Structures are given as C-alpha cells and as structure tokens.
Amino acid sequence: MLLGGVPVWAPLAYSGPARDLVRALKFRGAIGLADTMAAQIVANAPPGLLEAELVPVPLHPRRLRTRGYNQASAIAEAVRRRAGVAVLDCLVRSGPSVTQVGRDRAERRAGPAGSIRLEGDAPEAVLLLDDVVTTGATLGACRDALVAHGARDVAAVCFARTIGR
C-alpha cells in the first residue's frame, strides 16, 4: 500500500494484541517487546523487502529524554539482529514536540509537528521502520528528507497499521 507517498508493508493491523504490544513498548517501558515485534516483521516480510538499509523513524528529543529510548530504533535493532540488515539512525526530529496521539486525521495527514532532517548521507535504498503507521504523513516527511539528500528508493515497514489503511 502507498501511504504518504511511501510504499508501506505491515504484518499486523493495529488492534487487539498488536495494539497492546505497541502501547506496552511505547508507554510502559517494555522494551523487550521490540524483539517480539521484529520476529513478526522478519518472519512475514515479503521476499526482498529487508534488503535495504533500515532507518528508524526519529523520536522528538524531548520525548526521547522522557521515554529513554526510541521504540522504532529498538525494533530496528531487533530486526538487524534477526535478519542481519544494516541500521542507520540518521534522521532527526526538531521543532514542536506534539504527539500524534489525539490528533485528528486531518492534523495527522498534514504531517508531524516540527520537521525531520537528515544528519549525514542518505543511503541509496532505504527501508524506514516504525512501530505503527496511520496516515503515512510522518513516513512522507522522512522520505522527503532522505530524497533531498540522495536516497532514490524509499519504502517502509511498520509493525502494525491502522485498520483501513
């Protein structure tokens, strides 16, 4: 499926147990669940999907300080261990720290609050990685930053997708 101009694949719908896992990872500090999520991604990924360099979607610095970790980075590292793919944590979020939770669909589609920029060089082929995709606006902002610095092929994998997307 194409969301935010980015081809996206997710093994699960964001409901039931998948939603519970995401919430436990993000809001209850259950970082060990990143490996469970990575296992689902690696076991079910379409052939060839996990061949690009993994780039986790960045967390705003304020949220990173509060949470202590970026859940997308934790899942990316677990996918790296399981599948042997390279991970490059090269995207940075700045500007206002507004969570997507509680924003309506129009606000989400407008993109993430603040901006996303690249630190360093962009790989030619990138597989963005995030825990959940809703409208794809954040993935689109990440893609824009990567393409502006030379990435040619940008796709995304997420642990879960919002139903109907």
25-59 pLDDT, tens per residue? 999 999 999 999 999 999 999 999 999 999 999 99
CB contact at 8 A, 50 and 87? no
Burial (CB count within 10 angstroms: exposed 0-12, middle 13-18, buried 19+), residue 14: buried
Residue 103: which pLDDT band, with cuts at 50, 70 and 90? Answer: very low
Q: What's the pLDDT score for residue 95?
A: 73
Q: Which residues contact 151 (CB under 8 A, 6 or more apart)?
A: 122, 123, 124, 125, 126, 143
The rounded percent of the chain whose pLDDT value lies above 70 is: 88
The rounded percent of the chain whose pLDDT value lies above 90 is: 81
CB contact at 8 A, 129 and 137? no
What ranges do the domains of the chain cover? 2-161
What stretches of 6-157 show up as alpha helix (H) in DSSP?
16-27, 33-44, 61-67, 71-83, 105-109, 137-147
Burial (CB count within 10 angstroms: exposed 0-12, middle 13-18, buried 19+), residue 3: buried
Tens digit of pLDDT for each residue in 139-148? 999 999 999 9
Q: Of the candidates 36, 77, 38, which has an alpha carbon nearest to the alpha carbon of residue 56?
A: 77
For 2-161, CATH gives: 3.40.50
1: which DSSP letter?
-
Residue 94: which pLDDT band, with cuts at 50, 70 and 90? Answer: confident
| CA separation, residue 68 to residues 6, 80, 142, 158 (Å) | 28, 20, 22, 21
